[in-house]
Amino acid sequence: MSSQALAGALADERRRAVFAAIVLGAGDVPAVVSRTGLSARDAATAVRRLTDVGVLTDDGTGLRVDGQRLRDLARAGGPAPASPPADPREAILHTFLRDGTLTRLPAQRGRRRVLLEHITERSFTPGVRYPERAVDDALRRWCEGGEADHVTLRRYLIDARLLARDHGVYWRP
């Protein structure tokens, strides 16, 4: 974990509220929801993000702040902030994908198109026909733990003409 990752994790108000709730003794997502007033989905997403960057840990007895990792980071001072990706496509992918999972869909059409093309290129072979179930399975993997769902993602792929559909069979044109 770098100081930049820590700052990024705690930059969001919801994640700071979740962090504070856990510092004050909330040991699971329902307790976090109770203390913060966040929705269960928002609380679980924040917990996952904070766990991914190493700020929180779940040792089997409940969620807790990993104090040793925070102390190690403070001693090390952390590396210099990384420069943003030079390629605009990479910057968009870096913003909306975390460890191969779609965090959310961009509102701007151009950014969304970049993301949809990336997902299509990595999920579907041109000319191969896929039953709807296979398409849903491929898209669910992108959506696990994020704010987007596979049905919305599939609709965007069809609307953007990155996937074609006929009688429950899909293909990449």
Closest CA to 48 of 4, 93, 12: 12
* pLDDT tens, the chain, 173 aa long: 556 666 677 778 888 899 999 999 898 999 999 999 999 998 988 888 888 878 888 877 889 888 887 777 677 665 445 556 678 888 888 888 888 889 889 999 999 999 999 999 999 999 899 999 999 999 999 998 888 899 999 999 999 999 999 999 999 99
pTM over 0.95: no
- Greatest alpha-carbon span in the chain: 60
- Separation between Cα atoms, residue 129 and residue 126, nearest integer Å: 9
